[in-house]
């Protein structure tokens, strides 16, 4: 899957969203992204695993509202059952979050040795940075690598950055390339306040293919009136996809904004829903 292909997928989603009321045909969407209907259908199916028509069903507001209204075990109940308060199962992945020390957090990463790599993914190129304790930063590269690196450096202004693969960032790169064999536990080492950490620990318990709202997240951390603060914590997520802020939508079923572009949020939600449903059908 090349970045160029994802850009066409993203542009198709943008076009469909902009013209949702009149429901453009496959031929019209294919023409908009400069492909024949045959080649667009094949490219999209290879990427999503399902046809464009079926994929779009997962991006429907009514589908999102149904997912939100279905009865699922609460995030707290899920944590209690597994006994893993800061661990999440993403298919066969376990994600463990550790906070940076106050000194590391308040000093802009002074003394931290961070390795970073660029990696391809189904949703575009990403930059991944890690310390010896775990992954600290993942962001999509939407402009150029130089700017992506400058943004990383601004997040840790006094850290020492080296472009080098290590055990942690290579683990994340494998996940983005869907190579999950022998990944084991995925460790995150994050700069965060206690409140942000609490929100992110709850967020990683939302299974792939499911959705939640800011209010539901606030309830899960025992602070139902903190929806606005939860929204800020979700928006400040420094680790794209692995902390699944894309699974947080509005209670109306509208997906809403996303730090790395709303069409990418829709693409990730649709892809996860398609594959989660496929897995469920295999299990049942």
Active site residues: 245
161: helix, coil or strand? strand
Tell me which DSSP letter residue 245 carries. G
- Angle between helix axes 262-283 and 3-18 (nearest 10 degrees) is 100
117: helix, coil or strand? strand
Instruction: Kindly give the pairing relationship between strand 87-90 and strand 93-99.
Output: antiparallel
Is the C-alpha dihedral spanning 234, 216, 220, 171 positive or negative? Answer: negative
How many other β-carbons are positioned within 10 Å of the β-carbon of residue 268? 21
Measuring CA to CA, how many Å separate 135 from each of 76, 117, 205? 25, 11, 18
Measuring CA to CA, how many Å separate 122 from each of 6, 45, 56? 7, 13, 17
- Angle between helix axes 37-48 and 262-283 (nearest 10 degrees) is 70
59 touches 270 (CB < 8 A): yes
Tell me phi and psi for residue 75, to 5 degrees. -60, -35
Measuring CA to CA, how many Å separate 191 from each of 22, 82, 188, 233, 253? 45, 26, 10, 12, 31
Exposed/middle/buried for residue 37 (C-beta within 10 Å: 0-12, 13-18, 19+): middle
239 touches 226 (CB < 8 A): no
């Amino acid at each position: 899957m090349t970045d160029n292909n994802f850009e066409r997928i993203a542009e198709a989603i943008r076009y469909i969203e902009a013209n949702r009321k009149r429901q453009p045909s496959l031929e019209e969407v294919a023409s908009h992204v400069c492909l024949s209907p045959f080649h667009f259908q094949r490219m999209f199916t290879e990427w999503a695993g399902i046809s464009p028509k079926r994929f779009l069903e997962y991006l429907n507001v009514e589908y999102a509202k149904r997912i939100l209204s279905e009865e699922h075990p609460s995030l707290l109940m899920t944590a209690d059952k597994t006994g893993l308060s800061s661990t999440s199962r993403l298919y066969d992945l376990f994600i463990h979050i550790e906070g940076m020390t106050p000194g590391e957090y308040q000093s802009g990463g002074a003394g931290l040795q961070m390795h970073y790599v660029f990696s391809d993914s189904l949703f575009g190129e990403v930059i991944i940075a890690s310390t010896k304790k775990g992954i600290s930063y993942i962001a999509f590269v939407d402009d150029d690598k130089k700017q992506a690196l400058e943004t990383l450096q601004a997040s840790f202004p006094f850290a020492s950055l080296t472009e080098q693969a290590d055990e942690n960032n290579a683990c994340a790169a494998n996940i983005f390339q869907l190579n999950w064999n022998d990944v084991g536990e995925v460790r995150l080492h994050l700069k965060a306040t206690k409140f942000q950490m609490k929100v992110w620990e709850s967020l990683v318990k939302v299974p792939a293919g499911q959705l939640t709202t800011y209010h539901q997240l606030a309830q899960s951390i025992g602070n139902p009136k903190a929806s606005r603060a939860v929204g800020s914590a979700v928006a400040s997520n420094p680790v794209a996809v692995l902390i699944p802020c894309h699974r947080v939508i509005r209670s109306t079923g509208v997906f809403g904004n996303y730090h790395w572009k709303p069409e990418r949020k829709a693409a990730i939600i649709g892809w996860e829903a398609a594959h989660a449903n496929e897995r469920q059908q295999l299990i049942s």
